[in-house]
Amino acid sequence: MNGRSRLGRAGVALAATAALSLSLLGAQGPAAAKGNQNAKPFEAMTQNLYLGADVGVALDLLPDVPAAAQFMWDQVAATDFTARAPKLAGIAARYAPDVIGLQEATTWRCQKNAWSPVVDIYNFTDQYLEATADAGVPYVVAEAGGEQAFNPGFSIGPIPGLSVVVDPETFQPIFEQDFATCGFQMADALLVRADLADQVTAVGQNDYDRALGIPGLVDIVRGYAWADVTVSGHDTRFVTTHLESLWTFDEVTAAGDQSRQLAAELADVTKPMVVMGDFNSDPRDPRPAGAPNPGGQPEASDACPAQPDDPTPDTASTECNSYWVMRNAGYTDIGPDVDDPMNYTWGSDAELAGPDSGRIASALDMGNPYGFTDRLDYIFVKNGVQTKSKNSPEIIGNVWPDSPDNWTCENTANQIENTEEVSQVLTDAGLLDAPILGTGVCFPTDHAGVVSQLRIVPGQER
- pLDDT digits 0-9 by tens, 261-271: 999 999 999 99
The CATH number of the structural domain formed by 38-456 is 3.60.10.10
Check pLDDT > 90 for residue 46.
yes
pLDDT at 152 over 50: yes
- CA distance linking residue 137 with residue 12, whole number of Å: 9
Tell me the whole-structure pTM to 2 decimals.
Answer: 0.90
Residue-wise pLDDT tens digits, 172-195: 999 999 999 999 999 999 999 999
Cβ proximity of 235 and 271 under 8 Å: yes
Q: Residues near 221 by Cβ (< 8 Å), separated by ≥ 6?
A: 153, 154, 207, 208, 211
Question: pLDDT value at position 462?
Answer: 65
Backbone phi, then psi, for 415, in 5-degree steps? -60, -40
Q: Residue 15 pLDDT more than 60?
A: no
**Distances, alpha carbon 26 to alpha carbons 2, 135, 163, 355, in Å:** 41, 21, 51, 38
Confidence of residue 38 (pLDDT cuts 50, 70, 90): very low
45-84 burial: b if 16+ Cβ within 10 Å, else e: bbbbbbbbbbbeebeeeeeebeebbbbbbbbbbbbbbebb
What is the per-residue pLDDT across 371-403, written as a single tens digit (0 to 9) for each? 999 999 999 999 999 998 766 899 999 999 999
Average pLDDT of the chain is 90
Whole-number pLDDT of residue 215 = 67
- pLDDT score for 5: 29
Q: Which of 1-15, 35-49, 106-120, 215-229 has the lowest mean pLDDT?
A: 1-15
Q: Specify whether the CB–CB gap between 271 and 228 falls below 8 A.
A: yes
Q: Where are the alpha helices (DSSP H) in 347-449?
A: 360-366, 413-428
Q: Taking 90 as the threshold, does the pLDDT of residue 435 lie above it?
A: yes
Q: What pLDDT shows up at residue 421?
A: 97
Residue 177 burial (CB count, 10 A): 12
pLDDT at 26 over 50: no
CA distances from 364 to 345, 355, 368, 372 (A): 14, 11, 5, 9
- The Cα-based distances of 440 to 37, 70, 168, 436 in angstroms read 47, 22, 23, 8
Pairing of β 99-111 and β 42-48: parallel
- Residues 208-255 have pLDDT tens digits of 999 987 766 778 999 999 999 999 999 999 999 999 999 999 999 999
d(CA 348, CA 6): 21
